[in-house]
Amino acid sequence: MSRVLVGVKRVIDYAVKVRVKPDHSGVVTDGVKHSMNPFCEIAVEEAVKLKEKKLFKEVVAVSCGPAQATETIRTALAMGCDRGIHVEVTGKDYESLGPLQVSKIFAALAKKEEASLVILGKQAIDDDCNQTGQMTAALLDWPQGTFASEVEIEGDKVKVVREIDGGLETIKINMPAVVTADLRLNTPRYATLPNIMKAKKKKIANMKPADLGVDIVSRLEVLRVDEPPTRLAGVKVETVDDLVAKLKESGTI
Amino acid sequence: MTDQQKDFQELARKFAREEIIPVAAAYDRSGEYPVPIIKKAWELGLMNSHIPEDCGGMGLGIFDSCLITEELAYGCTGVQTAIEANSLGQMPVIIAGNDAQKKKYLGRMTEEPLMCAYCVTEPGAGSDVAGLKTMAVKKGDDYVVNGQKMWITNGGKANWYFLLARTDADPKCPASKAFTGFIVEADTPGVLVGRKEMNMGQRCSDTRGITFEDVRIPKENVLIGEGAGFKIAMGAFDKTRPPVAAGATGLAQRALDEATRYALERKTFGKLIAEHQAVSFLLAEMAMKVELARMGWQRSAWEVDSGRRNTYYASIAKAFAGDIANQVASDAVQVFGGNGFNSEYPVEKLMRDAKIYQIYEGTAQIQRLIISREHFSRFKK
């Protein structure tokens, strides 16, 4: 009952206007502001809160990516995580890194670190995959509580209130388990200045996927990336009858 | 910048965008003291950064504090001034206080979100510090102070003041020996706090007149000793002028960003106003001024953090940043045209807020006096 693993992903900042590269192979990332995925921030906040309640002894922040991923880990440390693990993935490998490879890495780390709980954001705002948490649980054969808006530890079980289409679903799952954080789980704290200074002293271990015995070859190939089609101007009508007529005209009804 | 400095800047920037900007206009209209923002800033460690570590502070250098100040000022200089006035009030204690004074008066600032104030200016003397009339007379083990101070930032909110008062009544006594620096608890009997003054800009900042009527100050609260006050009061400025310059830079950057955003949206004569050279050249000059003002505060902060006397650079930074903040804010209003003059748009507030940067913390004219004096003294070496 001692360790929580939290995954944090470095993504393009939510406020940035994303642009597609001229060769349509992806989006422009050079020189663009990046920050921690907002759902990962919520995951970190939850993990730190659980530790502050003395339910866990240690929170380990993990990120997969190039050197800059350590900035995201540092933010997690400044929010209260105890140490970090940077799994180094660079260049073409990083461009093709997706939920399957990341979940293999997390599964390996969860076993290695003997984590009782793995908390991830429900999805990343760049690819919107919403897969890593679920795949990690499956690879570990652990229970999963996804889209969590409330997490409560009850002995060796976790009670998770999940946000689903129909409303809220409450489940109780055994630990070790994987939980993914949804928007309303909590409000992430600011890192305070003293904590930013303290974070400098916290350790970030560096390793490669191969060190964990994980093969990160991708089975997916991105063919093309396009911007969404520009929205066409609408047509204003005066009356409901006009509206019905126009809809009939366009074959919609 | 080091990674840590980038993180500090990022925190301050996020705080300004999410906590200050959404409420700044409302505080400007009401003039209400921004207590919730100050409390949050204090909790995050964004205030009182200069306080030494052994008093519970973070002992940050001037450069790091300026990084934070510029970001907060981007949000609202009224809020930032309220926060910065703490640094100004504390600086004399940091540079001249003995251990007991530091532990007592700086320590309490890190335990609770308290404010303090720098109490020097009087109704009859601002630039002419030597013309101060507030008198402190020794009576037994205490000093009894009588006089009037004016334009004291945080005057009505301070828990304690740094007070400069005349201890030598002889008019022939030189300024360097005639004044003494004191720490005064705000609840001392005889300290009469005036009304909140309604100013042109930075309106949520609390500025007041303070009257001292037979206020007794124990001798333990004298900084260094009788007659040392002038040097302390002036010495504080070398460390507080760079942050003030940073504040003005933050305002100027905000004005530039708002004007640029508008120029890329507004159309006239068939194209975006940004595509008209008159506007793009105006924005280019605004950008030049902002970048140079930033380099100004950075140089002056770096000099003092490196242990060197930075008076020359601090004055240049403050004078330049104050002047350009006014120019850039005014130009921003110009870019907005008619909309800029209106209170629904953010730039008229910037223009009103900018003016004080040419006045407080040493007027633009006093800065020029200092710079010319320093310049000649360097030249003659």
ipTM confidence: 0.76
* Enclosing H/E stretch for B379: helix B364-379
On chain A, the residues whose CB falls within 8 A of the CB of B14 are: 190
* Dihedral sign, Cα of residue B194, residue B199, residue B202, residue B204: positive
User: Which pTM does this prediction carry?
Assistant: 0.88
pLDDT digits (tens, 9 = 90+) for B337-376: 999 999 999 999 999 999 999 999 999 999 999 999 999 9
Domain containing A8: what range? 3-249
Is there a binding annotation on residue B267?
Answer: yes
> If you count residue pairs, one on A and one on B, with CB atoms under 8 Å apart, how many are there?
35
CA distance B318 to B240: 10
Of all residues in chain A, the one with the smallest CA distance to B57 is A194
Cβ distance of A196 and B49 shorter than 8 Å:
no
Is there a binding annotation on residue B4?
Answer: no
Beta strand A167-174 pairing with A157-164: antiparallel
SS3 A2: coil
Rg (CA), chain A: 21
User: Which CATH number do you get for residue A156?
Assistant: 3.40.50.620
8 Å CB contact between B332 and B340: yes
Q: How many Å lie between the alpha carbon of A191 and the closest alpha carbon of chain B?
A: 7
The chain-wide mean pLDDT, for chain B, equals 95
CA-wise closest residue to A94 among A65, A125, A62, A57: A65
- pLDDT value at residue B183: 97
CA distance A40 to B168: 64
The distance of Cα A162 from the centroid of its chain, to the nearest Å, equals: 16
> A145: which strand partners?
A179
Match 């004078």 to its residue by tokens: B319
Q: Which amino acid is at B204?
A: C
Classify A145 in phi/psi space as left (phi over 0), alpha (psi -120 to 50) or beta: beta
Question: By a Cβ cutoff of 8 Å, what residues of chain B touch chain A?
Answer: 3-4, 7-8, 11, 14-15, 43-46, 49, 58, 68
Number of domains forming the structure of chain A: 1
Average pLDDT over residues B186-206: 96
Q: How many Å lie between the alpha carbon of B315 and the closest alpha carbon of chain A?
A: 29
Q: Is pLDDT above 90 for B1? A: no
Rg (CA), chain B: 21
Of all residues in chain A, the one with the smallest CA distance to B2 is A200
Cβ distance of A196 and B8 shorter than 8 Å:
yes
Average pLDDT over residues B13-17: 95
Q: Which of B84, B258, B361, B374 is catalytic?
A: B361
The chain-wide mean pLDDT, for chain A, equals 94
Indicate the angle between helix axes B3-15 and B62-75, nearest 10 degrees: 20
Q: Which amino acid is at B169?
A: A
* The two structure tokens encoding residue B175: 């300024």
Q: Is pLDDT above 70 for A1? A: no
* The two structure tokens encoding residue B327: 């120019």
For A146-156, letters b (16+ CB in 10 Å) and e give: bbbebbebeee
Confidence label for A237 from pLDDT (cuts 50, 70 and 90) = confident
Interface test with A, best of B5, B8, B10, B58 (most A CBs within 10 A): B10
pLDDT digits (tens, 9 = 90+) for A4-60: 999 999 999 999 999 999 999 999 999 999 999 999 999 999 999 999 999 999 999
Is B361 tagged catalytic? Answer: yes
